[in-house]
Amino acid sequence: MKRIAFLVLALAVGFSFTACTIQQAPNERPTNQPSNVQPTHTPSNSPEAASKVVSVDDFLISFEVLPPNNTGTVFAEFTFVNNSSSPIIDFSIAALLKDSNKRTHYSTYFTVMPGETSPKFTSFGPATGDKADIEFLSFEYSVYNDDGTVTHYEYDSKLQQYKTWETTIRASNSTINININDFALTQEIEPPDSIGSVYLNMTYTNNTQYPIVGFSLAALLKDSNEITYYSCYDTILPGETSANFVSFGPLSQQMTDVEFMELSISIAESSGSDTYMYYNYKLGIWTR
């Protein structure tokens, strides 16, 4: 059962709009962003904030507006450092592009452990290319607790108010017995192609007792801090090995620069329906 609590916090110090130094002039700071959007983390001194498990001040946010792409579209690229003591399993910023008066969301759904930097995540940016034309409206993020529950936070930048509620992660079906080691992977990084792109070939062997009809592995390329996906949607029976499937690899051509983040699988049930399961490598848990 969800437990909803409304916490109104006077974060006057933690969210004061002091000058920002992320490679921009002091007056170019986006409106309504928290005080920690800067190269050095400045925790909130508010006693109310100290009572929260995780506040917006616990995230060191960095971003840049990218040059227009070949169709003229402008994107903004974000990362955040998790300076809290808890894993963050999703993170989203709702923002207003003031030059066009349109809303967008900058979101990531991969787990970021304490002290880690998130993978890059992007959405549309202002056509002006000016960071000051990005106004942060609200933040949403979810914290994984030691007891397996998840605390969800919403923070309204204008009201400087939090809303929180708690849920329980939906555990994997106890009637399906699967271990992450039941999937034996082979991986081979190809030499760069004619334009310098690097690819990684992969197969997996299905050592479970179930037919697998979908297999998608999200991985972080650590040398570029970008996410890629290795996917196979052929039916692979127990004991069979898949055909090769491929996606981008690290430019370093080192497998140590490939970090598995999440495995998504689809299992064909005898009833004719499919069961979807997800493995979080950082938390070491299966969900469905």
Q: Would you list the DSSP string of 32-75?
A: T--TT-SSS------HHHHTSSS-GGGEEEEEEEPPP-TTS--E
Closest of 282, 34, 228 to residue 138, by C-alpha: 34
Pick from 149, 197, 196: nearest CA to 171: 149
Q: Between vectors from CA 194 to CA 189 and to CA 195, what angle results, nearest 5°?
A: 90
Please tell me the distance from the alpha carbon of residue 246 to that of residue 258, in angstroms, as a whole number: 14
Give pLDDT, residue 174: 60
* pLDDT at residue 34, rounded to an integer: 53
pLDDT along the chain (288 residues), means of 10: 38 35 33 42 36 84 97 97 97 98 98 98 97 98 93 97 90 78 97 96 97 98 97 98 98 97 95 93 94
Ordered by start, the domain boundaries in the chain are 3-168, 180-287
What pLDDT was estimated at residue 172?
60
**Three-state SS for 162?**
strand
> What is the tens place of the pLDDT at every residue in 67-125?
999 999 999 999 999 999 999 999 999 999 999 999 999 999 999 999 999 999 999 99
| Residue pLDDT, tens place only, 37-48 | 433 233 333 334
Q: Which of 224, 237, 212, 221 is nearest to 187 (CA)?
A: 221
Segment holding 287, helix H or strand E: strand 285-287
Give the tokens for residue 51.
């009572």
Q: Helix or strand or coil: residue 124?
A: strand
> What CATH number was assigned to the domain covering residues 180-287?
2.60.40
Beta bridge partners of 229: 218
Q: What angle do CA 95, 100, 103 make, to 5 degrees?
A: 25
Going by C-alpha positions, the residue among 143, 136, 41, 44 that lies closest to residue 96 is 136
